[in-house]
Amino acid sequence: MKVILLQDVAKIGRRAAVVEVPDGYALNQLIPKKMAEPATAANLKRVERMRATATASKEAGEARFDAAIAALKAQTLSIAASVNEQGHCFKAVSEADVVEAAKAAEVDIDTTMVSFAAPIKELGKHEVMLVSGARKEVFTIEVTKA
Q: Could you give the number of structural domains in the chain?
A: 2
Sequence-distant (6+) residues with CB within 8 A of 6 are: 15, 34, 35, 36, 37
The verdict on 81 and 116 lying in the same domain is yes
The verdict on 75 and 20 lying in the same domain is no
Q: What is the pLDDT of residue 124?
A: 93
The verdict on 33 and 71 lying in the same domain is no
Domain holding 23, by residue range, is 2-60
Is the predicted pLDDT of residue 133 greater than 90, yes or no?
Answer: no
The verdict on 10 and 48 lying in the same domain is yes
* The one-letter amino acid at 89: C
Q: What is the mean pLDDT of residues 37-55?
A: 95
Q: What is the mean pLDDT of residues 65-70?
A: 94
Write the pLDDT tens digit of every residue in 69-115: 999 999 999 999 999 988 889 999 999 999 999 999 999 999 999 99
Domain limit, last residue, from 60, 75, 97: 60
Domain limit, last residue, from 60, 91, 107: 60
Q: What is the pLDDT of residue 146?
A: 84
